């Protein structure tokens, strides 16, 4: 058993209102430079919809993630080394700018300098941020937002095509017959990242100390194999520098003991950050299970209980600081994934073992129970109503459980049971023991789960190891050493003049300040 620590995130989709604050603050922090106009490390999609980039979930088209070969061995869907090298100068599995969207800018001087007395209001015409030519805005990072464009292309959602025909017929794109929910997405910082294994130059790496997946800008040669290998399409190419860029999990903030910028600014307080301990030796077996419906339980089995004395002792032997072990014990991620078992991974069938999980949406269920003339305190009535919701359980299953509708229904039942129990408990103090028995949870567990999901304080939602706070002074000194933003140097990140920077300064943007390289290669790299 080799114990590693991983910084992970869980998002409660019931709380996401689609305000895009997380996307805007991430954009201003990380991708407000030339060459990244189309790049959104954090984006919020409206489901159902084809997503950003278009149809990114269609792996028959993009060949991202992992599959099992004829001998049951894990291999990249994009092919082995020879196949990838044969395409190194002409990769057919890359999204084009049309699959993302062509970024637009506007001539604001038309409004600012418009003469007075005009009968017609002056209009800002959109111009391409890439070519400077006039253009028509026909697509964006979330064209389906609030169902504004869902009627145009949302029926092309790859998840709908995988659903049983009877369930797919429930999905309507007509007024008062449709449904929607928001899905925030960032890089998954997977335990088994396909991007790391596909990179020919070894520029993609997974940090040893916290599992964050980063890009060594000095090593990146712009082969773009990482883009095609990532099934979530969360690796981008800066067209000005030719280098790959991706979500960094705001590692300078994490190292300083602060949450990511998307978490810090989230209006709905739907994000949770924490540490989980996992067995690195179990990753390959978990990603290689034959039945896709078993992938969820297989990944959960990889995670270790920090309260177990054996695990705690092994973690210390592996060199993990006491602060990290204590943070793992208090981690909201561990509670939501392995204790309460209500968080689910996004597309586990990609076999990357993603580390950004989701609590599926349940908002209208109790109203639906009452509207159907059923008893919302009766577990059977709630279960039957869940299976008949406007948001088909089968659709959520395609997103989070590789099509296992029963697993999603079980999570929704637990969430609905928690709501029913807390309503009764709050109104008249009654303890619904029958409901607790049906959930297989104690009253203390249900109330703790309710507190974490509904009213958790800042320090309960973000449990970041105190050890990272020790790096705060070094990070401040590094920032003070630059005249401006370190990312604004000529050529973009990692492209500053080698003759004027030390090795530590040159690589500081994408590595720890102490110079540790981390895991340069994925354990499965040799098998691809």
**Tens of pLDDT, residues 469-508:** 555 556 556 555 555 444 444 444 333 333 333 333 333 3
463 vs 452: CA distance, rounded Å: 12
Tens of pLDDT along 80-96?
888 888 888 888 899 99
In the chain, the percentage of residues whose pLDDT exceeds 90 is 57
Per-residue pLDDT, 483: 52
Per-residue pLDDT, 480: 55
When pLDDT is cut at 50, 70 and 90, the band that residue 282 belongs to is: very high
Per-residue pLDDT, 391: 78
Within 133-266, where are the H helices?
150-153, 158-162, 165-168, 194-198, 225-229, 251-255, 261-264
Tokens matching residue 246? 């991706």
In the chain, the percentage of residues whose pLDDT exceeds 70 is 82
Tens of pLDDT along 40-76?
999 999 999 999 999 999 999 999 999 999 898 999 9
Strand 356-359 versus strand 3-12 pairing type: parallel
- State the average pLDDT for the chain: 84
In DSSP terms, 204 is beta-bridged to 215
The region of weakest confidence among 144-148, 272-276, 305-309, 490-494 is 490-494
Tens of pLDDT along 307-363?
999 999 999 999 999 999 999 999 999 999 999 999 999 999 999 999 999 999 986
221 vs 38: CA distance, rounded Å: 20
CB 144 within 8 A of CB 4: no
Q: What is the mean pLDDT of residues 292-301?
A: 96
Supply the DSSP symbol for 290. S
When pLDDT is cut at 50, 70 and 90, the band that residue 450 belongs to is: very high
Per-residue pLDDT, 365: 55
Q: Is the N-terminal amide bond of 48 cis, ω within 30° of 0?
A: yes
CB 155 within 8 A of CB 173: yes
Tens of pLDDT along 149-169?
777 888 889 999 898 888 787
When pLDDT is cut at 50, 70 and 90, the band that residue 423 belongs to is: confident
If phi > 0 it is left, if psi is from -120 to 50 it is alpha, else beta; for residue 441 that is beta
Q: What is the mean pLDDT of residues 192-212?
A: 94
Q: Is the pLDDT of residue 425 over 50?
A: yes
Q: Is 360 helix (H, G, I), strand (E, B) or coil?
A: coil
More confident residue, 11 or 209: 11
The contacts of residue 483 (CB under 8 Å, 6+ apart) are: none
Per-residue pLDDT, 35: 92
Within 372-510, where are the H helices?
379-386, 393-400, 405-428, 433-439, 443-450, 458-461, 472-480, 503-507
The packing angle between helices 405-428 and 393-400, to 10°, is 110
Tens of pLDDT along 89-139?
888 899 999 999 999 988 888 878 888 877 777 778 899 988 889 999 889
Q: What is the mean pLDDT of residues 397-415?
A: 93
Q: What is the mean pLDDT of residues 265-280?
A: 96
Q: What are phi and psi of 421, to 5 degrees?
A: -60, -45
Per-residue pLDDT, 115: 84
Q: Work out the angle at residue 446's Cα, subtended by the Cα atoms of residues 440 and 448, and round it to the nearest 5 degrees.
A: 140
Per-residue pLDDT, 419: 86
Radius of gyration of the chain (CA): 24
Per-residue pLDDT, 175: 60
Per-residue pLDDT, 521: 33
Per-residue pLDDT, 424: 86
Q: Is the pLDDT of residue 433 over 80?
A: yes
Dmax (CA) of the chain: 79
Tens of pLDDT along 243-272?
999 999 999 999 989 999 999 999 999 999
């Amino acid at each position: 058993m080799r114990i590693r620590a991983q910084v992970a995130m869980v998002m409660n989709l019931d709380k996401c209102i689609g305000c895009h604050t997380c996307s805007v603050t991430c954009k201003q922090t990380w991708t407000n430079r030339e060459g990244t106009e189309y790049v959104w490390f954090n984006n919020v999609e409206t489901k159902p919809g084809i997503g950003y980039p278009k149809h990114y979930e269609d792996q028959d088209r993009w060949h991202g993630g992992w599959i099992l070969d004829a001998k049951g061995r894990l291999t990249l869907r994009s092919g082995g080394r020879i196949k990838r090298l044969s395409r190194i100068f002409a990769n057919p599995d890359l999204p084009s700018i049309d699959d993302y969207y062509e970024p637009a800018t506007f001539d604001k001087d038309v409004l600012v300098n418009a003469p007075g007395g005009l009968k017609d209001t002056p209009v800002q015409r959109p111009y391409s941020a890439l070519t400077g030519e006039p253009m028509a805005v026909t697509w964006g990072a979330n064209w389906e937002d609030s169902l504004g464009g869902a009627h145009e292309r949302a029926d092309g959602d790859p998840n709908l095509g995988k659903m049983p025909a009877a369930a797919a017929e429930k999905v309507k794109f007509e007024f008062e017959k449709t449904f929607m929910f928001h899905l925030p997405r960032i890089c998954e910082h997977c335990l088994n990242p396909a991007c790391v294994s596909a990179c020919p130059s070894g520029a993609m790496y997974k940090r040893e100390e916290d599992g964050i997946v980063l890009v060594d800008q000095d090593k990146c040669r712009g082969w773009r194999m990482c883009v095609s290998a990532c099934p979530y399409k969360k690796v981008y190419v800066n067209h000005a520098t030719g280098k790959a860029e991706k979500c960094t999990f705001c590692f300078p903030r994490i190292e300083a003991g602060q949450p990511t910028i998307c978490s810090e600014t989230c209006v709905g307080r739907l994000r949770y950050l924490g540490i989980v301990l996992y067995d690195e030796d179990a990753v390959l077996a978990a990603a290689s299970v034959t039945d896709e419906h078993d992938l969820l339980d297989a990944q959960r089995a990889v995670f270790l209980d920090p309260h177990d004395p054996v695990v705690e002792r092994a973690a210390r032997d592996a060199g993990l600081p006491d602060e990290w072990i204590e943070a793992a014990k208090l981690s909201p991620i561990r509670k939501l994934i392995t204790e309460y078992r209500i968080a689910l991974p996004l597309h586990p069938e990609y076999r990357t073992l993603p580390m950004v999980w989701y609590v599926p949406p349940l908002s209208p269920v109790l109203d639906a129970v009452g509207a159907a003339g059923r008893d919302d305190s009766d577990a059977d009535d709630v279960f039957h109503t869940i299976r008949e919701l406007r948001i088909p359980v089968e659709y959520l299953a395609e997103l989070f459980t590789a099509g296992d509708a029963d697993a999603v229904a079980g999570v929704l039942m637990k969430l609905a049971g928690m709501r029913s129990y807390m309503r009764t408990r709050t109104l008249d103090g009654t303890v619904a023991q029958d409901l607790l028995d049906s959930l297989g949870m104690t009253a203390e567990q249900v109330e703790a789960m309710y507190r974490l999901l509904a009213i958790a304080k800042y320090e309960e939602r973000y449990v970041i190891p105190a050890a990272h706070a020790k790096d705060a002074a070094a990070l401040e000194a590094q920032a003070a050493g630059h005249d401006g933003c370190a990312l604004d140097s000529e050529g973009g990140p990692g492209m500053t003049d080698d003759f004027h920077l030390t090795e530590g300064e040159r690589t500081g943007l994408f590595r720890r300040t102490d110079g540790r390289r981390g895991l340069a290669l994925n354990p499965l790299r040799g098998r691809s």
